[in-house]
Structure 1
Amino acid sequence: MPAIPWLGTAARASEPAGFVAAERPVAAGAVAVPVRLRASAGSRPAGLRLLPAASVWLWEGARERPEHLAEADAERAAGSEGSPDGGLDLRARLRFVLQPPLGLCLSSGGALEWPHELMPYQVQGVRLLFERERLLLADEMGLGKSVQALAALRLLALRHEVASCLIVTPASLLSQWRVRFAEWAPELRLAVVRGTPAERDGWWRTPAHAHLVGYETLRADAALARGRTWDVIVADEAQRIKSADAAVAMALKSLPHGRVWALTGTPLENRPADVASILELVIPDDPEPGRALRERLAAVQLRRRKAEVLPELPPKIETELVLPMSAEQRTAYDRAERQGLVQLRAEGGAVRITSVLELIVRLKQLCNFDPTTGASAKLADLQDRLTILRETGERSLVFTQFTDDTYGAHAIARGLSAHRPLVLTGAMTLDERARVVDRFRSDARHAVLVLSLRAAGVGLDLQDASYVFHFDRWWNPAVEDQATDRSHRIGQSRPVHAYTYALDDTVEERTAEILREKRLLFDQVVEGAGLRPEGTFSREELLRVAGLRV
């Protein structure tokens, strides 16, 4: 594995030349130290090295072997000019250059170069990740959790405090993490574990500072991942760790490791038990497991909201649109509802939840389109709104849970053909999805992007759009919030308008009522206002959505 140079320096870019760059160690255990030289020291590259025995060495590029200097000579070579304190001795100045204060590393124009200046709340997050071995970073979506994790990882690696890191993320985000890793930790080597089983075996064995892998791949390769002890595990979109018996959760929790950082903007997806599953990864040996969930969260969670840390971020304006059905949809919907309820009631007290779900999904599809005529109250409203937005140059995202040609993304895109929409679904390869996003960003002729909710709800940066439409509703508000925040995030300069559709007197209207309750539960548990024991769509709630009395 290539050695990591220390890049910190007490010199500032505004000062004249005559400073040496970091040199890689030439002996085992040596650390390269950048030190400012006097002008009389000559123009050849030189580096001051501190070996494990604390001897001081001056190495010049033209020489084959390091030359040992007396401390007084080294003092003259390093000079007191530009040191943190002219009165400090050589070792103190070397320590300052070897391990500059964290604030100097993170500040603009400081000891390290960053792609852009970290915001104050991000500096705070990096500090906590750096200092604490276990943390749930639960910042609201769009605040740069991955950037904070990479900055902390870079600092720990450059200080030789960690040597191996495992980053686990949804497969759709592998490319984005690879790009950000190169930007925020350029000195570190990354191995992306993907491909055939044989190829993945090779990547697991590849020496690297960090290995990047998708959750499903980790489940398949758990035995290979357990072959080493990971200094840091980063669980991105940690809401994927859903329950204690889930295969993905078990694979992740079985890995030998030191530090654990869980990243998620929505730790509560369906029920508080999901939060407990994340906490089992972050604090597996909780000394007080009987504590209330809210107290356990508070002990390891750092959560900031956009309104608190980014007051300059434009507002997110959310609007519920409740529309009457088209006549064609109402006829098809009522017929399907009557038939479905008759079948459910025929099952009596032993009604199967799978039967209830099948009916609800069928009715939700009919709320999108009438399959015979293609009539859609939502599409008609959306067409009118997009026509107005196109005249003002606005760009829009349209999310749907369906992907088929009759009720889903492709049917919506077909109905919006005048706007030249692009489509992104889970059926596409990762490279195909990336090309669609690049085309949407770069070609203003495509003012609308229609996306599959589950395929595109996380990890994408789509600040080019300031209007978001949820064509149909998912089972919980956390997923919808993630999708909306593809637009409402750092870099957005305009207010984001988010619209959710529901049709009057249908399963969608009843679903919306329960989703409002879910949002309240999320605020209670995660924001620390209290705790309710249940947050899932229970059997009773599903029957309520279907319109059955219980």
Structure 2
Amino acid sequence: MAEEEFVARPGRRPTGARRNAPRNQRRVRGGDDVMAVLARSVRDVEAAIQRRAATPSVRAEFQAVALLLREERARVLADQTGSATSRAEQLKRLDGIAAILARVAVRDSALLALLADDAVASDAARSRKRDMLRVAGIEPVPDAPPPAEPAASSAFAERRVVPQSVISRQLANPFLAPDFSAARPAPPRPRRLAGWELLGPLLSSFERAGGGAPACMELPEPAPWHVPAGLELMPHQARLVAAAAAGHRTFLLADEPGLGKTAQSLLAAEAANAYPLLVVVPNVVKTNWAREAGRWTPHRPATVIQGNGERIDGFADIVVVNYEVLDRHVDWLGDFGFRGMVVDEAHFIKNKTSQRSQHVLELSDRIRSRIARPLLMALTGTPLINDIDDFRAIWQFLGWIDDTQPVGELMDCLEDAGLTPADPGFYPAARQCVIDLGIVRRRKVDVAADIPARRIADLPVELDDKAGRSIRAAERDLARRLVSRYESALAARASDTVVSGIDSRIDMDLVRRVAGRELKETSTTSTGENVFSMMRRIGQAKAGLAADYAAQLARGAGKVVFFAKHVDVMDVAEESLERLGVRYSSIRGDQTPTSRQKNIDAFVNDPDVAVAVCSLTAAGVGLNLQVASNIVLAELSWTDAEQTQAIDRSHRIGQTEPVTAWRIIAAQTLDARIAELIDSKAGLAARALDGSDEGAQSSADVQLEALVALLTDALSQAPETSRTRR
């Protein structure tokens, strides 16, 4: 933010604490000095935080104090006209105020972020800062408008790409005109609310609502809806799909994690015929969206944009792109002809000055300019009554507001209410107007009858970085070593007899003996790449992604238990949580009983500790962590029993909500193969439906079967001479 500028008034000598103020500041009347104003404001903020969570007005006050404190410190340090003693005394007072700010900030990570040098000042914080200066007798000059930025710098423009597949799609339909079916503007209505500032009161209406106030639009009764065989649409999901089928087209879907927002979005798009559909998501869930599209809408081809999009299908109905690469593709995405757009983890766009927020808003504007009533869905698990000011960008994405005021249906609803912000009844009426536009919020406890008491959800992730490439190369090396052993053993045979198996040309008996020998040797030596070191490396590569997902869950659903097998995986996860500003407890095997209990108590009792990072072996038994209903399994166990024990730390007596375990699986690696083996032996399908446990297996069984599958696949892809002896 540009610093405030002040106009000097000639002919008047400043007095008191402002005697040494720069010439571009002026007093207009008597008042407190800046120090007194800062001290009083920071005490007010501290008291407010102690009484309740930080509201938008409290955050604005907090940031205003931080901004003015920073400017006052710079002024004191730059002033060389006073004595060193006076300057030291002023700095000491400022340090005291800064200490109170820091003490307040550690109670709320959102406040802590406002202290960063690059934190963007909200309009409310700027306004409050100006008020504070006026109380101190200083009249600020209105902020100068920021310099207009070019549409795209040359460096930024150079990153823009158009995949060849998209060009092929355009060439295949050279006479297909864009669909500009946007409705003609309605004739202007007399505006009784013209001149009223409405966005602030709209946001305030959510703060004023009591705890029992509804936070969900009225949804129709669920109607029968065709879903692929083997899948079932839960009643709460069917209600939203029914709303889309009935013609509703904008949704802020804020269901808690675990209630199937992805499936609801895909089926809502089907009900609204909103194809092609654009889906913008965080990187960690990009692969999962493509997988879920294949499950729920298998007749709608989906494609995922990786990097510059060389491998995308330009003819797909569903295009999935992550925030991190959106800047490269925003041009052609805007011209693709989308009839619907879904933004997952929509709180990612809360900072309207960020590039990703601007790109998302640009794309929604371009879609709405072409399509009269496109399907627009913002998905987030963040409760609506916290940080409501962050929802400005989401409301703008949905077309409910613009930069300055409500628009369209929302403005019509406010006008029809016949009230103004001066009327007490305005606030509940305005809140209901917003909710009726499409806010849908259900908690697990609200729909407990719809979902099993315990379930496991797989979240596949792509390891497409350097570590991922290294892991896939190591898997190929391990497969080649197994093939070499197989060929040597086959060549040593006196007979050319081949035993039938999966492939009639592969000796499956020999495959199992080679895999068993490999497993026996690698369990007694630590040299070379083996199945154990491979799984550890995969865990390390997944750790950051798993921690990022745990942080997303914590923001939307409260406390989360994070399990990992290896200490170095826990280390990476904890570093990621620190970087994300998420407080956590660490529960490890090398802790003393006192230290362990202290960390457990912090997670259970401290509302600010959002994640418990636990060792799967040390914390998998003997703990009561039922304060959390979401579990992240960052690494796979070798047995289903160990995995179940970890889940039961939360799924136990005292748990009031259904428990969801999110299993992070590295797609197209040994990790995915082992997950399938564990599930096939433990009856995961039955467990997901009713919580039953079926079957049991040893860790050695899974390890052996993983090597057997790896060798069999490698032999199946090898030339025939490598599989049999002629």
Indicate the TM-score class for this superposition, using the shorter chain for normalisation.
Answer: 0.3 to 0.5
Per the normalisation by structure 2, the TM-score is 0.32
Higher helix share: 2
Larger radius of gyration: 2
